[in-house]
Each structure stands twice: as structure tokens, then as C-alpha cells.
């Protein structure tokens, strides 16, 4: 694929270039037909072998060596692959990949929040979100879709529509991607015939000839039986996840009401369901853009440090007041909510930029063929072509943030026999949350501290340390607790927060 892009860079419009790259891949990638297999096709050259996507994320040689050597969730990467990356792939794609382009454009406040672990960004390494197909492929083959595309091109108004040229290029890319899947299937048909000619077992020879017949019929034509329908679906699934590293398919669920709330029609909602982790939508009609995880507990940590990140020492959150200023739980929650809105807005602003970059530079022509209204609009799936377009942020740590806030509510504000300050002393923490050495007793401010946001300079500055090991974002993780020194209710509440973010064993002072 790198050689194809090197040879054709600048020759075609972006959508046509993407479609031609997909066609080139379907023409030349190694194919596999396993022993006793009846449904054929693999994403890579063999089962459990997957391609990389340097046009999305160009991995470093160090990344590949880590993948090859780590003890869990490893991927075997041979020396030849590493050599090709070093000599050809990295020199071409470094600076051209979507990830490199994104990070060059995203604003500093987005990068600060990303580096601190407030949120992740899925689209730095894969296609936008998940999606699920409907049943259109069981009544139409790729040749039928090509007729629909030709009709859409014929209806373009080049005199009055200033977007007609862009729509034509997009529709041409859809047409090429249909050809690509037909070619991919025909190659499997040819391989099955070749193997059948060498097969000595009559039953397996008959199975191979059936595979060849099936792959010659679908996906070019609509399926005629259950076997062909399964094979057609599998080819489409492989095409979508090979085209742009996307699409997980899940079973439908009873989520009609949520889709209606999002604006879907009742008919489309009843034909929809769940797709992936958090998305619901109308199957075959909706673009699900899943942008990343959002770390709720990290936001609480910043709230308790007046917007300062204790890990890095950077002030990139809002100055919502030192924790001594929170006289009630409502004060604490209001500050947390303010920080949450601040970082969600940063995340959304970055997501809008990233979505625009995918629309401009990384269309998905084959997926667009299968999603309603992309043809009618002459727009790619990644450019708002689907009938419904939704963007999701996946909130992470809901259980942990509930535990942390509940513990602080009881530990510091409600029904405790201790004042908040006394509870902090007895628990070895400050207001329920403390990093060692962040608030030394000789400089600790009293609860009568001036609590305006502008007075935060009176608060001792957290000490930042650099480490090569992963750092947990919940500030309870480094708390020193002596359980015997705490009153019963205080011990129970602290234990809740302790369980949600247990500290390293070396930092526990056990009674």
C-alpha cells in the first residue's frame, strides 16, 4: 500500500485515491482458504494475522518491538516487517499519517488534557466509531449498487450545484469500491477452483466447487440461499474493517426509545439497536463517531487541586478554589461540574476538528455504499453522508467517581463525628484526598483560607515527579492510611474510595 501511495500521490481526488487504494489492496493482498473451510476470506494473509494502518497511525520500530515482546496481548512482528517499517513505511508516512496531521492541528489545551489522561482519542489510530449494516445486501448485489451510483451521478446538476464536482468524485469512489469487492471475491473463487482440481477427497472437492460458485455469484449479485448470504455478509464485513480499520458488528437490542430521543424515525429505530460499547442507532442508516474515553476521576483530582495536575505540575484546569474552600458537598460538586464542563468543551472542539480532517483526508467509500443516503447526498460516511450522524464520548470510571464522591460526602461533610479538617488529619489525608508531600503539615492552609479562585496562590504547589511507570489518575492511589486511627464511619467511607483506586503496596502504612 505504501508503494501504491508513493506511485499515485496527487494523481486523483482524495475519495478516488482512497477507492483506488482499496481496489489495489483487493487485487494484490495475499488470500487464504483454510482446510475444511466453507465461508472464506481473512483480513490478513492468514487467520489471526492483521495488517497495520500507517496512513492512520505510523507505528515506530519501538512500538512494533513492544508488540512482539510484551507478555500479554502480544502480536508477533517478524524481523522482515520491522525492516520494511524502518526502510520504507516510516520514512514515507511520518508526518503524513492522520495521527501526525491531527496532533499538528490540535490546540495546546487539547494536547495538555490528552497528555494528562483526561481523555483519549480513538481516531488517532482507527476509523471513527462502530457501525452496523442492515439487510440491504440480501436484496442487492454490488452490480445493483453500481447501477444506483450511476443514476446518482446522472442526476447531478453541474449548472446550479457548486458541490456537483465533489459529489461526482465521491460517487466515483463508491463505484470503484464495489469493483474492489467483486475482484476480491473472484480471487477466492479462482483459488477454490485451483484447490478443487488438486483435491482427492470427493466431498471436499464438491465443497470447494461450491465455494467457487458462491464467490462468483456474491457479492456481484444478490444471494440466492443462506450459504451465499453468509458469504456475502462476511465479504462486506472484511471490506469495511480492511478499508479503514473500523466496524464492530453487534446484535440488536431494545433501544427504540433512545433512538427516538436522538431524532430517529420510529421505523428506523425499530430496525436499529446497539453497536459496540455505548452507541445505539439505526442499522445501515447511521454514522456512529466514537471519539474516545473521558476520565471522570481525573477531573475530580484536578478539582481537588484547584485545576493543577499533581502529576505534571501544570495548571490547565480552571481555578475553582482550594479544597479547604468547599464548606458543603454542594460546593465540591459544583466545582467538579465546572471542571467537567470545561474539559468536555475542550474535547468536543478537538473532535470537531478531527471529524473534519477525516471528511477531507480519509473517506470510507465502501462503507458509504452500504449506508443509506450517502449515495443520495453524494457524501461520504465520514462527511455526514449517513441519514443520522451522532458523535459519542464514552465516560470512563462511573463506578469509581461514584465511590470517590460518596466517600468524600460522608467522610468530609455528612454525619461524621469529626470535622473535615480533623477527619483529614486522622485519615492521613487532606479533605479525603492527598498526594504524599503535596501538602506538608508545616505549610498546610487552614479552613479559614481566603477561598476565592484568585487566591489559589496561597495554596502550596504540588510537587511533580517524572516516572516511567503508569500513574493512576485517582488521587487516593497514593494516600497513606492507618485504618486503626480512623473512626468507624470515616473508616468505612475511606475504604470505599480506597477500593476504587488502591495504592501501590509500597505506599501503604498498614496497622
Taking the domains of the chain in order of start, what are their residue ranges? 1-41+133-245
DSSP conformation class of 92: H
Phi and psi torsions of 81, nearest 5°: -60, -45
Between the CA of residue 184 and those of 84, 249, 498, what are the distances in Å?
25, 21, 54
DSSP conformation class of 89: I
Which uninterrupted H or E stretch holds 484? none
279 is catalytic: yes
Selected catalytic residue, list 257, 277, 345, 422:
277
Which uninterrupted H or E stretch holds 193? helix 164-198
277 is catalytic: yes
Between the CA of residue 25 and those of 22, 28, 29, what are the distances in Å?
5, 5, 5
Cα torsion 285, 291, 297, 303: sign: negative
Cα–Cα distance for residue pair 144/43, rounded to 1 Å = 25
Selected catalytic residue, list 243, 279, 286, 355:
279
**How confident is the model at residue 256, as a pLDDT?**
73
Measured over all CA atoms, what is the biggest interatomic distance in the chain, rounded to whole angstroms?
90
- Mean pLDDT, consecutive 10-residue stretches, the chain (511 aa), reads 96 98 97 96 94 94 96 94 97 96 96 96 82 90 98 98 98 98 98 98 98 98 97 95 71 64 79 67 86 94 92 94 87 96 98 96 96 97 94 92 89 64 42 39 34 36 32 30 30 36 32 30
Cα–Cα distance for residue pair 436/109, rounded to 1 Å = 27
Look-up of cell digits 470545561: 342
**How confident is the model at residue 254, as a pLDDT?**
53
Amino acid at each position: 500500500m505504501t508503494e501504491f501511495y508513493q506511485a499515485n500521490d496527487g494523481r486523483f481526488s482524495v475519495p478516488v485515491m482512497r477507492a483506488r487504494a482499496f481496489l489495489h489492496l483487493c487485487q494484490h493482498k495475499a488470500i487464504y482458504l483454510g482446510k475444511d473451510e466453507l465461508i472464506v476470506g481473512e483480513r490478513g494473509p492468514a487467520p489471526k494475522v492483521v495488517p497495520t494502518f500507517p496512513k492512520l497511525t505510523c507505528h515506530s520500530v519501538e512500538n512494533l518491538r513492544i508488540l512482539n515482546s510484551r507478555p500479554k496481548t502480544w502480536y508477533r512482528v517478524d524481523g522482515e516487517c520491522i525492516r520494511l517499517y524502518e526502510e520504507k513505511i516510516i520514512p514515507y508516512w511520518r508526518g503524513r499519517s492522520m495521527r501526525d496531521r491531527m496532533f499538528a492541528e490540535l490546540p495546546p489545551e487539547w494536547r495538555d488534557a490528552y497528555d494528562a489522561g483526561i481523555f483519549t482519542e480513538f481516531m488517532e489510530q482507527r476509523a471513527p466509531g462502530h457501525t452496523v449494516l442492515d439487510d440491504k445486501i440480501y436484496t442487492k448485489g454490488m452490480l445493483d449498487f453500481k447501477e444506483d451510483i450511476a443514476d446518482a451521478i446522472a442526476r447531478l446538476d453541474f449548472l446550479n450545484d457548486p458541490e456537483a464536482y465533489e459529489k461526482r468524485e465521491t460517487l466515483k469512489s463508491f463505484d470503484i469500491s464495489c469493483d474492489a469487492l467483486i475482484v476480491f471475491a473472484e480471487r477466492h473463487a479462482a483459488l477454490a477452483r485451483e484447490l478443487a482440481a488438486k483435491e482427492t477427497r470427493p466431498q471436499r472437492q464438491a465443497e470447494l466447487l461450491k465455494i467457487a460458485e458462491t464467490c462468483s455469484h456474491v457479492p456481484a449479485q444478490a444471494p440466492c440461499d443462506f450459504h451465499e448470504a453468509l458469504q456475502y455478509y462476511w465479504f462486506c464485513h472484511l471490506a469495511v474493517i480492511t478499508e479503514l480499520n473500523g466496524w464492530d458488528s453487534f446484535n440488536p437490542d431494545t433501544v427504540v426509545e433512545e433512538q427516538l430521543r436522538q431524532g430517529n424515525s420510529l421505523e428506523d429505530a425499530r430496525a436499529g439497536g446497539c453497536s459496540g460499547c455505548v452507541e445505539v442507532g439505526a442499522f445501515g442508516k447511521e454514522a456512529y463517531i466514537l471519539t474516545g474515553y473521558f476520565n471522570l476521576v481525573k477531573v475530580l483530582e484536578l478539582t481537588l487541586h484547584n485545576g493543577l495536575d499533581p502529576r505534571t505540575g501544570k495548571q490547565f484546569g480552571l481555578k475553582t478554589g482550594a479544597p479547604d474552600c468547599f464548606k458543603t458537598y454542594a460546593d465540591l460538586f459544583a466545582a467538579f461540574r465546572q471542571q467537567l464542563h470545561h474539559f468536555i468543551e475542550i474535547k468536543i472542539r478537538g473532535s470537531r476538528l478531527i471529524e473534519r480532517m477525516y471528511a477531507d483526508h480519509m473517506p470510507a467509500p465502501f462503507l458509504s455504499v452500504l449506508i443509506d443516503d450517502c449515495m443520495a447526498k453524494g457524501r461520504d460516511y465520514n462527511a455526514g453522508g449517513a441519514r443520522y450522524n451522532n458523535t459519542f464520548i464514552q465516560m470512563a470510571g462511573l463506578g469509581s467517581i461514584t465511590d470517590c464522591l460518596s466517600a468524600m460526602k460522608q467522610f468530609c461533610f455528612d454525619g461524621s463525628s469529626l470535622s473535615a479538617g480533623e477527619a483529614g488529619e486522622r485519615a492521613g489525608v487532606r479533605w479525603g484526598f492527598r498526594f504524599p508531600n503535596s501538602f506538608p503539615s508545616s505549610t498546610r492552609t487552614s479552613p479559614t483560607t481566603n477561598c476565592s479562585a484568585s487566591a489559589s496562590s496561597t495554596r502550596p504547589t504540588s510537587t511533580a515527579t517524572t516516572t516511567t511507570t503508569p500513574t493512576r489518575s485517582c488521587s487516593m492511589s497514593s494516600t497513606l492510611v492507618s485504618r486503626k486511627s480512623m473512626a468507624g464511619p470515616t473508616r468505612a467511607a475511606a475504604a470505599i474510595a480506597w477500593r476504587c483506586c488502591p495504592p501501590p503496596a509500597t505506599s501503604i502504612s498498614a496497622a
